[in-house]
Amino acid sequence: MLSIRLAIRSAATFLLLSCLGVSAFAAPIDYDRLDRRLNRLAQDAGIVGLSVAVIENGKIAFAQGYGKTRDGGGSITADTVFRWASLSKGVAATLTAKLAIEGSMSLTDSISTFDTSLRLPGGAEREGTLENLLSHMIGIVPNAYDLALEDGRDPVEIRRSLAKLPAVCPVGDCYSYQNIAFDAVSEVVEKVTRKSYAEALANGLFHPLGMTNASVGREALQSSASWAEPHRYSRGAASAKRRKVKDAYYRIPAAGGVNGSIRDLALFARAQMGLTPEILPPALLENLHSARVYTRSEQSRMSSKYGGHLRDARYALGWRVYKYGAAGTRVVGHRGAVDGYRSMILFDPERDTGVVALWNSNSRRPSAIQLEVMDMAYGLPTRDWLRLDGKAGQ
């Protein structure tokens, strides 16, 4: 009877997905086509260097570099190190959740339990939890004092001054994306592990997962055997201009301080799919990727860029969660940007399939790589999301 019920359920699933235009048994990703399109993308004046990896059915099936580390520099490889920018938030949340499941603390502990420098309006750090912090639900204006950080102000001083801001909602009631406040997580990790944040990450995640080129901080980036230097492109320019590596977001490492190669990021993505349960147990990942709050601003951005292809945008713990395509398949991801670098990760944890990308310019075009790859993974009709041939969808 059980086998009959499973057969009926499988048939029903196949019929539903077929009606929605999704192949239940999608063909393998066409890596020759992907490589051709990425080579074309790399010729764009706004692209200097680009690195892309694809995990398909749990295996790193594709990891390629395109372009240069800088004008006249070496070629990008799968081991070239980039800044991960805000993908660092998913790294921080993962380490924090790992420490919690190991019994070092609880995600429901109040922020004040750890005597961090974070102060919130009305003393709300006493009721706000680590879960609230990791899901950007601490009740202050979005991106509080980011400009002050970029101007050189001490992040610890900034966190203490946040108490003077008016609350926009009670803690836990609304979403408001943060950088400086979020980095209070690094203080928590240091207090719990009695190690520097960089050491705690290396011991807790990087080394166990085999992320051999992953690191924290500017010095670690620039001492890498191959590292991509930052560039900025202005519309109409002949090429992107080289920039200096800026320290600002390295001073808040949990929010934006991680470096690594595309191979490191692919290994991290595999772990998020549950493929290293001895390091990241299923219960940890389920909690980490469970949506806490609807993110209206993110949904608006996704609608304007991709129509309804990525929708129902929500935030979990350091991760964004969406429904993908007409079938509404659940996918998990994040994007990052600091001056001269951008990053992207998107994966389907049920199919053990996803895509990651890193590039050393301010161009937004490579963000669409995620749709090109995932459409192939789901067997959806080909669309020109990268706009190499014209308007997306033609």
Amino acid at site 182: F
Amino acid making up residue 265: L
The C-alpha atoms of residue 83 and residue 333 are separated, in whole angstroms, by 17
Task: Find the angle CA(60)-CA(72)-CA(247) to the nearest 5 degrees.
Answer: 70
Is 51 within 8 Å of 74 (Cβ atoms)? no
pTM for the whole structure: 0.92
Residue 50, φ and ψ in degrees, nearest 5: -145, 140
**Which pLDDT score, from 0 to 100, does residue 394 have?**
28
SS (H, E, C) 281-338: CHHHHHHHCCCCEECHHHHHHHHHHHCCCEEEEEECCCCEEEEECCCCEEEEEEEEEE
Helices 369-377 + 31-41 axis angle, to 10: 170
Asked if 261 and 268 count as a contact pair (C-beta separation under 8 A), the reply is no
- Asked if residue 7 has pLDDT above 50, the reply is no
Q: Are 328 and 19 in contact (CB under 8 A)?
A: no
Nearest in space to 61 (alpha carbons), one of 208, 258, 213, 269: 269
> For residues 70 and 82, what is the distance between their CA atoms, to the nearest angstrom?
12
pLDDT of residue 27: 60
Question: How many CA atoms lie less than 13 Å away from 66 in the CB half-sphere?
Answer: 24
Residue 354 CB-half CA count within 13 A? 29
**Integer Cα distance of 330 and 311 in angstroms:** 10
Contact yes or no for 84/258 (Cβ under 8 A): yes
Provide mean pLDDT across the span 13-36.
62
Instruction: State residue 72's pLDDT score.
Output: 87
- Taking only the tens place, the pLDDT of each residue in 256-275 is 999 999 999 999 999 999 99
Please count the other Cβ atoms lying within 10 Å of the Cβ belonging to residue 365. Answer: 18
- Taking alpha carbons only, the member of 361, 276, 354, 289 closest to residue 48 is 361
What radius of gyration, in Å, describes the C-alpha atoms of the chain? 21
Fold of 22-377: Beta-lactamase (3.40.710)
- What are the tens digits of pLDDT across the range 51-76? 999 999 999 999 999 999 998 899 99
The model's pLDDT over 316-334, given as tens digits with 9 standing for 90+, comes to 999 999 999 999 999 999 9
Between 16 and 206, the more confident residue is 206
- pLDDT at 71 (0 to 100): 85
Q: Token pair for residue 33? A: 């086509």
- List, as one string, the DSSP characters of 256-267: H-EEE-HHHHHH
CA distances, 213 to each of 30, 49, 274, 304 (Å): 28, 17, 22, 36
Mean pLDDT calculated for residue range 106-131: 98
Give the sign of the dihedral formed by CA 198, CA 205, CA 187, CA 150: positive
Both structure tokens of 273: 């799919």
DSSP E strands, the chain: 49-56, 59-67, 82-83, 215-216, 231-232, 241-242, 258-260, 293-294, 310-315, 320-324, 329-338, 341-348, 353-359
Find the helix or strand (DSSP H, E) in which 367 lies: none
Greater confidence (23 vs 36) lies with: 36
Q: Which residues contact 147 (CB under 8 A, 6 or more apart)?
A: none
Residue 320 CB contacts under 8 Å (≥ 6 apart), including other chains? 295, 298, 313, 314, 332, 333, 334
Q: How would you list the strands of the sheet with 59-67, edge to edge? A: 59-67, 49-56, 353-359, 341-348, 329-338, 320-324, 310-315, 293-294
Q: At what angle do helices 184-193 and 88-101 cross, to 10 degrees?
A: 40
Residues comprising the chain, all counted: 394
pLDDT at 26: 55
- Give residue-wise pLDDT tens across range 27-40: 689 999 999 999 99
Structure-token match 């190499």, residue found: 388
Task: Give the model confidence (pLDDT) of 202-245 as tens digits.
Answer: 999 999 999 999 999 999 999 999 999 999 999 889 899 999 99
Average pLDDT over residues 85-113: 98
